[in-house]
Amino acid sequence: MASKLSVLLLLLAVAMVTVMAQRRRPASTNTEWNYRDGSEKVNMRGVANLTQVLDNWRFDIVNQMKGLLQNDHQSLLPDYARIQPLSEALDDLYKEFNALKAHLGDLTEKFAAIETFIDEVKASRANGNANASAGSAQPQPAVPRQSVRRVMKKKATASS
C-alpha cells in the first residue's frame, strides 16, 4: 500500500512540474528561431577557437585521405577481383566482344571479295557500252549474259 502511495505521489509531482513549466514559457506565435537573440553574449574568442579546431581537423583528415589514396589505395578502394559475379560478367563481355570483332573481320573479307567482283562487272559493262556506242550509231539490243560465279576460298586466319 505504501509503494502504491509513493508511486502516486511521484506521478502527481511530475504532473505538477510539467504544468508549472508550461506556465512559465511565454507563448510565442513566431516559430522561427531568432538568431540575433543573445548574439551580443557570444564569446567570439571561443567561436574563433572552435572554428580553428574544426579547420585543423578538416585539414588533417584531407591530408590523411590524400596520403592513403596515393600510397595505399587498396586499403580504401574495394578489390574488384574478389567480386566474382562482376568478374565473370566482365570476362563474358570481353569474350563476346572478341568474338564479334573476329566475325566482323570475316564479314569484311567476304565483302571485299564481293566489292572487287562488283567493280569488275561495272568496269566491263562500262567498257562494253563505250565500245558499242563508238562502233555504231544505233544501239544494239542487249544480249543476255550468263552470270559468272566465283568460288572464294576462306583464308586461314590465326585466332587468339
Has residue 149 got a pLDDT over 70? no
Residue 89 and residue 113 in one domain:
yes
Q: What is the CA radius of gyration of the chain?
A: 45
Structural domains in the chain (count): 2
Percent share of the chain, pLDDT over 70 = 74
Flag whether 54 is in a domain: yes
Tens digit of pLDDT for each residue in 75-90? 777 776 667 777 788 8
Flag whether 5 is in a domain: no
Read off the C-alpha cell for 74: 587498396
Residue 64 and residue 102 in one domain:
no
Residue 59 belongs to domain spanning: 45-77
Residue 106 and residue 118 in one domain:
yes
Residue 116 and residue 90 in one domain:
yes
CB contact set of 82 (below 8 Å; sequence gap of 6+)? none
Confidence (pLDDT) at 8: 86
pTM, rounded to two decimals = 0.28
Residue 86 and residue 66 in one domain:
no
Of the listed ranges 60-69, 76-85, 95-104, 151-160, the least confidently predicted one is 151-160
Residue 9: alpha-carbon gap to chain centroid: 65
Q: How far is CA 113 from CA 110, 120, 152, in A?
A: 5, 11, 8
Q: Confirm if 86 and 80 have CB atoms less than 8 A apart.
A: yes
CB contact set of 41 (below 8 Å; sequence gap of 6+)? none
Confidence (pLDDT) at 25: 62
Confidence (pLDDT) at 160: 46
DSSP 28-83: -S--S--TTTTGGGS-HHHHHHHHHHHHHHHHHHHHHHHHHHHH-GGGTS--GGG-
Flag whether 113 is in a domain: yes
Q: How sure is the predictor about 44, in pLDDT bands with cuts at 50, 70 and 90?
A: confident
Has residue 143 got a pLDDT over 60? no
